[in-house]
A and B are shown apart, each in its own frame.
Chain A
Amino acid sequence: MLQFLLRERKTAIDGLKGFKKQPLTPKLFGVMAEYTTKSKLAHLNPWRKTGSPTAGFPIEFLLAFDIFPIHPEAYACYAGSAGVTRRPIEEAESQGYSRDLCSYMKTSIGATDMGWPCDFGGVPQPDFYVSANAVCDTHIKWFENEARRHGVPYFGLDIPSHVAGRGDDQDLEREIDYVVAQFFDLIAFLEKQSGKKFSEEKFMRVIGKSQEACALYHEILAYRRCLPAGQYFEFQRLFMLPVAVMWNLDGCIAYYRRVLAELRRRYGDTPPTDLGSREKYRLMWEGITIWYKVDLYYWLAEKGARFVYEQYTDSFGIRRRRTTTFPETLRQIASEIITLPYTLNLEKRIAWMEQKIDEYDIDGVVLHANLSCRPAAAAQQDVKNAIQKSKGIPVLILSADMDDPRSYSDEQVRTRCESFIEMMEARKG
C-alpha cells in the first residue's frame, strides 16, 4: 500500500476523494477497511488458504473449510467508488481485452497487473479460483483465465438457466439435482485445495450464520418501505458488502444487528407504512449501480427522487429460507442460485418487480442498460412495456456502464432523468 501511495500519488489522492464522497458511516467505513486489510494480510497466514469466488457463488462452502474469500468483483467496486477505474481498464485493453467486455473484469486484471492494492481494484493472489455462471458467461471465462494466468487451480459451477416456461416442479427439481451433484464435486475440490476433510456439522454452522445474516439484511431492507425509507441506494450498495462477501459472518451479524436495532428505535419493531413525510418520488433501480457516479444519486436526491428498492441489492441476501438438515440445505442453496432475483426469467422478473412496486410504493423505475453487463440488460424493453402497462408508472432505460466512466455522459443522463422526473410529476398531476 505504501509503495502504491508513493508510486501513484495522484491516483491515491483521487481515490480518497472518491471514497470521501460516499455516504459512509464511520462503522461502515470500518467494515470496508476491515475487508481490504484482511484481504491483504490473508496470504501471510500459511495455515489459512484463500479462494476467489464470483457473485452468485455459494461462499459458505469456502468458509466451511476456513478459506478466506478474495472477491475480485468487490475490489472492482471499491475502485469504482473511488473513481479510479479508467487506468486499469485501459491497461487490460492494452493486453487485448476488448472495449466491450465486462468492466469489473478489466478493472480487476488491470489493477492487479499494475500492482494496485485491493482498495483500488487489485487482487491479492488467491490459492485458487471458483466461479459460477449464474449471472453471466464472463464469470466462468474470467476466472478460468485468471486461474491459468496465475497458475492456480480452478473450479466452475454450472448453473442451468431456468428460462420462462420451465416448470417449478420437475424442471426446477432436475436443475437443482444437477447443482447439488456439483456441490459434491466442489467439496472434493476444496478438500484437495485445503487439505482438510469436509465437516457437515461445520458447514451447517456456517449456513446457520449465513441465513441469520441474510435474515437481518432483509429485515433492514424492509425498513426501506417506510415513508420515508430507512436507507437509500447510494448507502445500500456499500452496506451489502458484508453479506455479499461473507469474510466475517460473526462481524456481519453483529453489525446488521446494531443497524436493525437503530432502525427499530427510529421506526418501531415493524416497519410502519406512513410517517407522514414521504419522498417526493420513490424509485426502483434495476441492474448494477454506477459505481463511479454517486453524484447522480445525490443530484436526483436534490430533486426529491430517491431509490428505495433495487433487485440488485436484494439479490445479495441470498439465503432466504432457514433450513435444518444438510440435504435440505444443499437443495435450498441450489434453488436460491438458480432463481436469484437478479437473474429471474422474464415472466418471474416482471411479476417480482410488480410486487416490489406495490410493496415499496414506487413512482418510477430506472432500468440500467449496462454496456458491459449484457445478460442483465436483456429483455429490458419488455420489462419496461409490461410495467408501464400494468402499473402505469414511468420507466426509464438509462444507458451507462457499472465501472467504466468512459461510457457515461453527465449531461445526457441528467437530461433524460429530468424528462423522467417530469413524467412522474405529470402523473401526480
Chain B
Amino acid sequence: MKTFAYFDSGHEFPEEIVMAAGFDPCKILGDVEIGTGPADEYLHNYFCPFARACFTEALSRAGEWAGIGFAHGCDATNRHYDVWRAHIDKPFFWVNTPMKIDATARKFHLRELENFRAGLEREYGIEISDEKLAEAIRLSNRIKNGLKRLAALRAEHDINNLEYLELMNRALTGPRQELPEELERKLDEWQQRPPFPRALEAVLLTGSDVTSPEWMEALEEAGLRVVRDDLSLGERYFRAAIPEDIPPLKALVEYYGAYPQPATRVPSDRRLQYLETAAWENDIRLVISQNLKFCEPYAIDAVWTTGVLKNKGLKIIHLEREYTPTLDQQVITRLETFKEMALQ
C-alpha cells in the first residue's frame, strides 16, 4: 500500500480520510540524527527545529510518498506549507482545521473535510465513499483502543519511556492494517512485565511533542517514568474514540473536539483540565512541562499552566529543550534535583 505523508503540529490531520482513500498515512516526524541543513537553505534557523527536521525528511523522502498533507495548526504548519510546496514536486493538500471547536468552527471544519475528500478523489481518480470512511474509522478506533490499553500499563508494569515512544512512533508512521494485531501481541508481552519499579517516580509529561528518544532517555536516567501525558505522540492520539454512529465526516469533526487539546487552540482551559484530571486519575505528584526551543504556543502556555498546577499542589518543573540527539547531562541533573526536592 502506498504511503501518504502528513505534517501537523498537534493531531489535526484527518488520517482516516487518507486510509479510506487506500493509503497508509504516515506522520512526518523528522530525524534528530540528521542535520537540518537541507531545510535551512529555505528556512531561518530560528524557526522550530522539529519543523525543519520534518522538511528535511520530506526533501529526501518525498519520492516514496503518494502525496503530502498539511493541517492548519501552529505558525510553522501555516507558513511553511508554501515553502514545502515550492520545493517538493508532489501533490499537496491543505486542510484548514479550525483553532476553535465551537458550533461555527465545526460547521467550517466539516466543509474543509469534504473539500479534502473531494481533492483526494480528484487527484487520484478514486471514490472515497462513506462506507470506506466508516471502515477506516473502525480500524482507527481499534488502533486507538489498543494503544490506550497499552498506555494504561505504564503505571502498573516496567515499561520504559523509550518503549512507549517507539510504540507511538510505530503507530503513527507504519502500516495500519496489521497494527491492531501487533498491538494485541504487544499487550500480551507488556502484561507479563515486572511491576512498576519502586526506584522510579511516576510523572505526567506535557508540552511540545517529544519525537526523538533523547528526552525520554533523559527522564529515565533521572528516575522519572512517564505514566501519563497529553502529547500528540501519546494520549492526544488515542485517548478519545471517533464516534461510529454518525456520518463519518461529522464523526471526525466531533472527535476533533473530544481529544486532549493542543496549545494551539482556544480555549486553553480544556488542555489544563485534561492535565489536572490525568494527574488526579493516576495519583501523580510530579509534572514535567517542557517546550522545544522556538515552540511558541507551549512556551506561552507554560507560564500559566505551571502556575495553576503548582497551586493545585503538584510539583512541576518547566524546561526549554534543544532538538539534539545528545543526551544533555545538565538536563538530567536538573531533573534529578527536581525529583529529590519534590519528594522531600
Contact = CB atoms under 8 A, between A and B. Distances in A.
Interface of A: 95-98, 100-102, 105, 133, 136-138, 140-142, 144-145, 148-149, 154, 156, 158, 160-161, 163-166, 170-171, 174-175, 177-178, 181-182, 185, 345-347, 369, 371, 374-375, 377-382, 399
A98 B266 contact: no
B104 interface: yes
A373 B142 CA distance: 42
Contacts of A158: 98-100, 105
B42 A375 contact: no
10 contacts: A98-B291, A100-B299, A101-B300, A102-B296, A145-B300, A161-B96, A185-B102, A346-B86, A374-B44, A378-B75
B115 A174 contact: yes
A138 B296 contact: yes
A98 B47 contact: no
Contacts of B104: 178, 181-182, 185
Contact of B82 (A140, A377, A379): A379
A140 B266 contact: yes
A212 B321 CA distance: 49
Given A144-B268, A345-B82, A163 B94 contact: yes
> Which 8 residue pairs are nearest across A and B when measured between Cβ atoms?
A346-B82, A378-B79, A178-B108, A96-B303, A160-B96, A141-B300, A164-B82, A158-B99
Given A95-B303, A133-B99, A346-B86, A144 B266 contact: yes
B13 to A, nearest CB: 14
Interface in B257-288: 263-264, 266-268
B81 to A, nearest CB: 5
Contact of B111 (A140, A174, A347): A174
B306 interface: yes
B100 A100 contact: no
A166 B42 contact: no
Contacts of A369: 44
Contacts of B92: 165
Interface string B48-61: 10000000000000
Contacts of A170: 115
A163 B102 contact: no
A100 B43 contact: no
A129 B132 CA distance: 44
Contact of A163 (B41, B78, B105): B78
Given A137-B297, A138-B296, A145-B300, 8 more contacts: A97-B300, A101-B296, A133-B99, A144-B267, A156-B100, A346-B85, A369-B44, A381-B43
B94 A165 contact: yes
Q: How large is the interface on B (under 10, 10 to 19, 20 to 34, 35 or more residues)?
A: 35 or more
Contacts of B268: 141, 144-145
Contacts, number: 146
Given A141-B297, A163-B81, A382-B83, A374 B320 contact: no
Contacts of B301: 141, 145
Contacts of B318: 96
Nearest to A376: B79
A226 to B, nearest CB: 34
Interface in B52-93: 70, 72, 74-76, 78-83, 85-86, 92
B239 interface: no
B293 interface: yes
A374 B296 contact: yes
B300 A381 contact: no
B220 interface: no
Given A137-B297, A158-B99, A163 B82 contact: yes
Interface string B188-219: 00000000000000000000000000000000
Contact of B303 (A97, A165, A178, A378): A97
A100 B293 contact: yes
Nearest to B264: A137
Nearest to B114: A174
B338 interface: no
B112 interface: yes
B295 to A, nearest CB: 9
Contacts of A156: 99-100, 266
Nearest to B104: A181
B107 A379 contact: no
B42 A379 contact: yes
B299 A379 contact: no
Nearest to A100: B294
Nearest to A95: B303
A163 B115 CA distance: 15
Contacts of B43: 378, 381
B258 to A, nearest CB: 19
Nearest to A386: B86
B106 to A, nearest CB: 11
